[in-house]
């Protein structure tokens, strides 16, 4: 198969827009050596929205029910850009129908559901992918290369965080992400899963953890049409909705390889519009990354000459795989959308070459298990072994 036919589910949302662009755009930058993609169907609940969207992919079929895309024999890949609560049901139906599946994170609402999906995909020999695109910024491929080649020795400590402030203001409007029915694990599955994806990509599997989840404002005004983090003008006549999932979480964890972790994330860090960072300390060196310098890795090595040691700043550039395809000079800021383009290219490559590429549903399952462990640990205020969760 040279051209993968993709159906984008949730096409009118943020990820729907980005995924459509990524599948259409990647050959322009990364070439067509491993095939191309055609956005063959757009799914939006509302017929008018679906029609409005059709300019993005004029040849695409327009559906209002995701089941129709799954039943379409022309479609090879179901791309799930729907709210979290639909991921499991839709991915399961797609796999059962013999479609490859690309699902936005978090893969499912529990490790048990994720396990079922990973097993089903394996039994059906189908390609899977979870939308953890942040680690696909080429700067993290460099970090992985340095780790895998032993440059920082044995990893002893991982520190990671991710914060936004969309709920920093207690009057910030309610959104589906705060509804425990639509997103049962709240910030843990939503944002925590991004930090967990870095842990999975760079450090290894988590064996146990203790977590403390928290909510900062129990009720929030319902303002129809309010966007993420928007400060709404209240009329005083709004309905109020209860926040039923965590706003933030602090974690201590242990990895199977003996490393220790210290992780925090939230949607209430006033002033932090998007903060994401990690520090990885090994026996021979260290790596430090901060999203504010999106293509820069700081690397400290004990192998450097005594008296001249210090963190060196490496700006990822055309010398590093995937960067030069986009930009001919280092430090020109390869951003979030480029990571999604790289991701789309890898999804197509996986399908045309029948080659599993991280993060498959197996990685998605482990990340869901960390989320489950956080929920369980915080509820019962105790350490949780991931192996005990089943």
Ligand X SMILES: NC(=O)c1ccc[n+]([C@@H]2O[C@H](COP(=O)([O-])OP(=O)(O)OC[C@H]3O[C@@H](n4cnc5c(N)ncnc54)[C@H](O)[C@@H]3O)[C@@H](O)[C@H]2O)c1
**Residue 223 to residue 232: CA distance in whole angstroms:** 7
Task: Please classify residue 122 by burial: count the beta carbons closer than 10 Å to its beta carbon, then call 0-12 exposed, 13-18 middle and 19+ buried.
Answer: middle
Identity of the residue, 138 or 285, whose beta carbon is nearer to ligand X in the bound complex: 138
**In this structure, what is the dihedral angle of CA atoms 219, 224, 225, 227, given to the nearest 10 degrees?**
-10
Q: Is 83 in the site for ligand X (CB under 6 A)?
A: yes
Q: Is 343 in the site for ligand X (CB under 6 A)?
A: no
Q: Which residue carries 């700081």 as its tokens?
A: 298
CA distances from 360 to 190, 279, 301, 343, 350 (A): 18, 25, 32, 12, 10
Q: Which of residues 13-52 bind ligand X (CB under 6 A)?
A: 13-16, 43-45
**Residue 364 to residue 120: CA distance in whole angstroms:** 14
Asked if 75 and 10 touch (Cβ cutoff 8 Å), the reply is: no
Q: In the bound complex, what is the minimum distance in angstroms from residue 57's beta carbon to ligand X? A: 15
The single residue among 10, 168, 246, 364 that binds ligand X, judged by CB under 6 A, is 10
Identity of the residue, 111 or 155, whose beta carbon is nearer to ligand X in the bound complex: 111
Site string for ligand X, 110-149 (x = CB under 6 A): ---------------------x-x----------------
| Structure token pair of residue 88 | 């499991």
Q: Is 66 in the site for ligand X (CB under 6 A)?
A: yes
Spatial CA neighbour of 274 closest among 375, 179, 162, 363: 162
Q: Is 12 in the site for ligand X (CB under 6 A)?
A: yes
Residues binding ligand X: what is the number (CB under 6 A)?
20
Q: Is 190 in the site for ligand X (CB under 6 A)?
A: yes
Neighbours of 48 (CB within 10 A): 9
Q: Is 82 in the site for ligand X (CB under 6 A)?
A: yes
The span of 6-14, 108-116, 236-244, 371-379 binding ligand X (CB under 6 A) equals 6-14
The span of 76-84, 261-269, 294-302, 318-326 binding ligand X (CB under 6 A) equals 76-84
Spatial CA neighbour of 268 closest among 229, 227, 212, 238: 229
Q: In the bound complex, what is the minimum distance in angstroms from residue 66's beta carbon to ligand X? A: 5
Q: In the bound complex, what is the minimum distance in angstroms from residue 163's beta carbon to ligand X? A: 15
Q: In the bound complex, what is the minimum distance in angstroms from residue 231's beta carbon to ligand X? A: 19
Identity of the residue, 15 or 367, whose beta carbon is nearer to ligand X in the bound complex: 15
**Residue 149 to residue 147: CA distance in whole angstroms:** 6
List, as one string, the DSSP characters of 132-170: --GGGSHHHHHHHHHHHTTTT-SEEEEEEEEE--TTTST
Q: Is 84 in the site for ligand X (CB under 6 A)?
A: yes
Residues near ligand X (CB under 6 A) are: 10, 12-16, 43-45, 66, 81-84, 86, 104-105, 131, 133, 190
């Amino acid at each position: 198969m040279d051209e993968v036919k993709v159906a984008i589910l949730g096409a009118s949302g943020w990820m729907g827009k980005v995924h459509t662009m990524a599948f259409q755009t990647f050959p322009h930058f990364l070439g067509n050596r491993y095939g191309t993609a055609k956005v063959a169907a757009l799914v939006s609940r509302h017929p008018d929205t679906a029609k409005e969207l059709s300019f993005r992919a004029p040849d695409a079929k327009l559906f209002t029910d995701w089941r129709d895309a799954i039943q379409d024999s022309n479609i090879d890949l179901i791309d799930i850009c729907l709210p979290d609560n639909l991921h499991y049901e839709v991915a399961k139906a797609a796999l059962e129908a013999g479609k490859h599946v690309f699902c936005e994170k978090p893969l499912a609402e529990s490790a048990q559901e994720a396990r079922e999906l990973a097993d089903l995909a394996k039994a059906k020999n189908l390609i899977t992918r979870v939308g953890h695109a942040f680690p696909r910024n080429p700067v993290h491929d460099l970090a992985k290369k340095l780790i895998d080649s032993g440059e920082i020795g044995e990893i002893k400590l991982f520190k990671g965080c991710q914060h936004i402030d969309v709920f920093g203001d207690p009057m910030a409007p309610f959104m589906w992400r705060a509804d425990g029915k639509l997103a049962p694990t709240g910030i843990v599955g939503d944002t925590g899963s991004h930090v967990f994806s870095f842990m999975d990509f760079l450090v290894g599997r988590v064996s146990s953890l203790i977590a403390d989840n928290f909510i900062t404002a129990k009720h929030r005004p319902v303002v129809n049409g309010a966007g993420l983090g928007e400060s709404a003008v209240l009329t005083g006549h709004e309905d109020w909705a209860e926040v039923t999932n965590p706003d933030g979480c602090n974690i201590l964890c242990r990895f199977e390889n003996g490393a220790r972790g210290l992780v925090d994330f939230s949607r209430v860090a006033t002033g932090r519009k998007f903060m994401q960072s990690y520090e990885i300390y090994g026996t021979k060196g260290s790596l430090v990354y901060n999203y504010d310098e999106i293509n820069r890795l700081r690397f400290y090595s004990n192998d450097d000459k005594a008296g001249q040691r210090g963190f060196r700043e490496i700006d990822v550039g055309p010398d590093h795989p995937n960067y030069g395809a986009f930009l001919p000079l280092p430090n020109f800021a390869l951003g979030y959308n480029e990571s999604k383009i790289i991701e789309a290219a890898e999804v197509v490559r996986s399908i045309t070459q029948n080659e599993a590429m991280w993060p498959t549903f197996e990685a998605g399952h482990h990340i869901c298990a960390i989320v489950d462990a956080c929920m369980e640990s915080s509820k019962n205020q105790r350490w949780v072994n991931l192996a005990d969760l089943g």
